[in-house]
Structure 1
Amino acid sequence: MIHISFDKGTILISNISQTQANNYPFLKWDKRVSSFRAMAYHYRNLILSLRKDQIEYLDVAKDFLPQNFSLQIKIEPRPYQIQALEAWINQQSNGVVVLPTGAGKTVLAILAIAKIQRPTLVHVPTIDLMSQWYEVLLKFFGNKIGLLGGGYNQLENITVATYDSALIHVPQKGNKFGFLIFDECHHLPSEQMQYTATSSIAPFRLALTATPERADGKEKLLYELCGGICFQKDIKELEGKTLAPYEVITFEVEMSENEKKLYQESRQIYLDFIRKNNINFQVKNGWQQFIQLSSRSPEGKEAFSAYLKQKKLSQSSANKLNYVWDIIIKHRTDRILIFTQDNETAYLIGKSFYLPVLTHHTKVKEREQFLSLFRQGIYSILVTSKVLNEGVDVPEANVAIVVSGSGTVREHVQRLGRILRAKEGKKAILYELISAGTSEYFVNQRRKMHSAYEKRTLEL
């Protein structure tokens, strides 16, 4: 009889003939233990295949049993949440669900937990999100909810873990959960985080995100580990119903004459180096090629320094501060989030206008205090670099000012999502500040690729 066991993020398959093993291409011979071995995520496929082939087996890999999770509070899901759950179940309870921020991905996950009835591990990227999930799961299930991360190491039948902590524990605990939920699942295909999925035997998987696409194209790995996209709704489909109606306004901001001169000089040095070395950023390794070449000579180091200088000049030109102040005055009665690409600009805005600033340097207690005061209305404005891009629930915010950002569509959809949680009478406005005549224009054009940015107002 074939014997299946769990071993440090893998499954060991013994007492299986070479002929039988050939039917399962994911099995690899491990001469160290004289058994076949596979990454743990192949467990489901192996078990289903053995059953289909009517081959007897002994499974000691699985260390979990069906549970009785009952909802303590009745949920009346929206029609699209019901559709998403059904689509996921029809895809063998594996798949990626794409819903915008504020559309109720957490509610969908709760419905899935109640349906699957297996020990569940929820993965989140930040401590803030871990706390939010903990509170919601405790409210709806009333059971003990485990925590992995932020100093906690407590496993329960429903547990919330940061990706980092799950990664540490999965070699030992990857057989204790039958259901994995990956919130903000676009993080999963990264070089390290993917092992939280590959090293677990969990046969049921739900991945949640507003934007599954990655700049490196590794969303294909996400679909391999969790199943393909089974349901998708975008911001425009839910605007004015589940999400607040919104407007996107772009200002092209003129730099000072001195800033223009410095920008053009720095950009020319950078572009000359790019052209001289035939560096093509349209190919996969273009950026890596630039980094490598720029580190090998004084000319290259000057080019890299010039690249950083022109980028900083466009992202934080002095005149942008004037626009920020004008928008603040215009929306003095609103709750405003101000986003920057870097910490330095965030702190500059905070210092200039005496505003609270949240960055990854902000201590946990201080961050919680800032967010609490914002929700209470004591603070009406928060400045942040990246820590509020995803996950943190700030439904009170209705105005966002993007002073600077990356070229990724995901980041800007996430920032838009921060102000779209519906509230009676609410209309959301996102302002983008673009330095005129700079590369920021092309960054802005890349953002327009997402359907959420099709409706926009351009103000000069």
Structure 2
Amino acid sequence: MTPVLKYDRGTLVMYEVPSVVSHLFTWDARSQLYRARGQLYREVSELLRGHLVVYRDEAALFQKLELTFAREITPYLHQREALQVWKAAGRQGLVVLPTGAGKTLVAQLAMAATPRSTLICVPTIDLLHQWYSGLLAAFPDANIGLLGGGSRDETPVLVSTYDSAAIHAEELANRYGLLICDEAHHLPSDFTRVIAEMSLAPYRLGLTATPKRSDGRETHLDTLLGPVVYQKQPGDLKGLALSDYREVQILVRLSPAEQAHYDELIATRNAFLARMNIQLGSLDGWKQFVMQSGTLEGRRAMLAHREARTLAYGTEGKLRVLEEVLANHPQERTLIFTDDNETVYRISREFLIPAITHQTPVKERHTLLQAFRDGRYRTLVTSRVLNEGVDVPEASVAVVLSGTATEREHIQRLGRILRKVTGKQATLYEVVTEGTSEERVSKQRKGQWTPRVQAGPVWESVNAPD
């Protein structure tokens, strides 16, 4: 009897398993059949065909598409290279490019080169709409739909939020041959990783400015999507695909009174951490600190930590620096980033600058961004809401007053001022309080992450694209 490969609730199932793939399946006594993760579909298929095993594939429902790329645009060299390397790696893997370097176009080129039913996952509703508009312009004849934000389409090309794709992972898993994950660092979380684990998609493309995660799970992307196959840093594209730019770090000092209070707060925190043998630099250190904050002493230490952090982030010296930077760039569009909403609103009040935080209603935010785009507002101040997933109008100056800890956040904020404009000189000011933990984490962030690059076999099948 010819073995049959079927799909069931995010898994591959077979009643009779050929020996060449038996190590990939597990016996399910309840169902009286063998199961394997949907993600193993490509490996199972390659082994069966490679050993000339005759079988019937009833698992995959991928569609072959007719995609006509309608955009009249010449890709940059790095975009052509990224596509070429991804294809050579078997159409699996992660492409790491800075914000503003055209990751979306790389994905559209990958879709044109891999014309199969495609699921695209994005982290926010803003990105959902941006991708949808971009795909309509790139592939006007394609049937493109949305999942999330009140939409639930069933189309050969589907753009979904991560949350919606995870909720419907079982029903999506065998319908899409190409899986594209924008801001792919979101994928390894406990809730969203099922999108890739259940998916049968033999072709996978991840896009991100930096894969790094605070929990170290960026290594999981190797198995969920494939390893890093192409990477460029902002400096690699400076003056080419991105505007020329410079980074300026400005150190400010706490006043004597602020410094004395800061030292007292840090001493209170560190004494508690030492007693409890907690190291904040370790992977679980912060979690342990939060758990201990339920005790009286732990709460006192946590409050001291937060007050010290607020003091370093919001020292008066930073506001004097901001005033000087704004005076030095009177005609340039400027974005001011802080780590917390309290500082955003303080700057908004004292400098009469429009503010955007997560509390800003959607319509008001769109109005403010449009006014910034039109030039009616020259400056905006925000916390983290513009880091990712928002189409921010072109600016040439960014001032980071606080929030310098992560490489991703830094690259995202830098990317907000790097969109290519002839003759543009962009400047990123990073204002750091000297002698505090803020200075330490800023130095730690500047260490380079080295990706592990490997090329896999090219996927060959009757469904393989040219």
Question: Taking structure 2 as the reference length, what is the TM-score of the superposition?
Answer: 0.92
For the residues of structure 1 that align with 2:346 and 2:6, how far apart are their CA atoms?
A: 56
For the residues of structure 2 that align with 1:62 and 1:116, how far apart are their CA atoms?
A: 16
For the residues of structure 2 that align with 1:411 and 1:450, how far apart are their CA atoms?
A: 14
- Does the 8 A contact of 2:369 with 2:393 survive in 1? no
Q: Aligned pair in 2 of structure 1 residues 318, 305: CA closer, same or farther (>3 Å)?
A: same
Q: Does 1:47 align with 2:45?
A: yes
Offset at residue 333 of structure 1 (A)? 0.6
Residue type of the partner of 2:67?
Answer: F
Aligned residues, how many? 447
Instruction: Give the aligned partner of residue 5 of structure 2.
Output: 4
Describe how 1:57-206 pairs up with structure 2 within 5 A. 57-142=55-140, 143-206=142-205
Offset at residue 34 of structure 1 (A)? 0.8
- What SS does the aligned partner of 2:101 have? coil
- What SS does the aligned partner of 1:25 have? helix
- What SS does the aligned partner of 2:152 have? strand
Q: Aligned pair in 2 of structure 1 residues 259, 26: CA closer, same or farther (>3 Å)?
A: farther
For the residues of structure 1 that align with 2:366 and 2:199, how far apart are their CA atoms?
A: 33
Instruction: Give the aligned partner of residue 435 of structure 2.
Output: 437
Residue type of the partner of 2:37?
Answer: M
Q: Deviations over 1:374-433 (max 9, x none)?
A: 111112112111111123333521111111105111111111111111101111111111
- What SS does the aligned partner of 2:108 have? helix
- Does the 8 A contact of 2:103 with 2:207 survive in 1? yes
For the residues of structure 2 that align with 1:394 and 1:301, how far apart are their CA atoms?
A: 39
Offset at residue 314 of structure 1 (A)? 0.7
Instruction: Give the aligned partner of residue 13 of structure 1.
Output: 14
- What SS does the aligned partner of 2:24 have? coil
Residue type of the partner of 1:210?
Answer: A
- Does the 8 A contact of 1:394 with 1:419 survive in 2? no
Offset at residue 450 of structure 1 (A)? 4.0
For the residues of structure 2 that align with 1:253 and 1:26, how far apart are their CA atoms?
A: 58
Residue type of the partner of 1:309?
Answer: E
Offset at residue 24 of structure 1 (A)? 4.2
Instruction: Give the aligned partner of residue 262 of structure 2.
Output: 263
Q: Does 1:355 align with 2:365?
A: no
Tell me whether 7-16 or 181-190 shows the greater mean CA deviation: 7-16
Instruction: Give the aligned partner of residue 408 of structure 2.
Output: 410
Instruction: Give the aligned partner of residue 457 of structure 2.
Output: none
RMSD: 1.7
Offset at residue 280 of structure 1 (A)? 2.3
For the residues of structure 2 that align with 1:350 and 1:144, how far apart are their CA atoms?
A: 44
Q: Deviations over 1:17-36 (max 9, x none)?
A: 6xx27x44332221121111
Instruction: Give the aligned partner of residue 454 of structure 1.
Output: none
Q: Aligned pair in 2 of structure 1 residues 338, 450: CA closer, same or farther (>3 Å)?
A: farther
Question: Taking structure 1 as the reference length, what is the TM-score of the superposition?
Answer: 0.93
- What SS does the aligned partner of 1:216 have? coil
Q: Deviations over 1:340-374 (max 9, x none)?
A: 11122212222222222222222222222222211
For the residues of structure 1 that align with 2:204 and 2:105, how far apart are their CA atoms?
A: 16
Instruction: Give the aligned partner of residue 372 of structure 1.
Output: 370
Offset at residue 100 of structure 1 (A)? 1.2
Offset at residue 266 of structure 1 (A)? 1.0
- Does the 8 A contact of 2:387 with 2:413 survive in 1? yes
- Does the 8 A contact of 2:63 with 2:156 survive in 1? no
Describe how 1:244-393 pairs up with structure 2 within 5 A. 244-295=243-294, 297-393=295-391
For the residues of structure 2 that align with 1:121 and 1:102, how far apart are their CA atoms?
A: 23
Runs of 5+ consecutive residues of structure 2 not aligned to the other structure? 450-466
For the residues of structure 2 that align with 1:206 and 1:358, how far apart are their CA atoms?
A: 32
- What SS does the aligned partner of 2:60 have? coil
Q: Deviations over 1:20-68 (max 9, x none)?
A: 27x4433222112111112211111111111112222222221222111
For the residues of structure 2 that align with 1:7 and 1:244, how far apart are their CA atoms?
A: 49
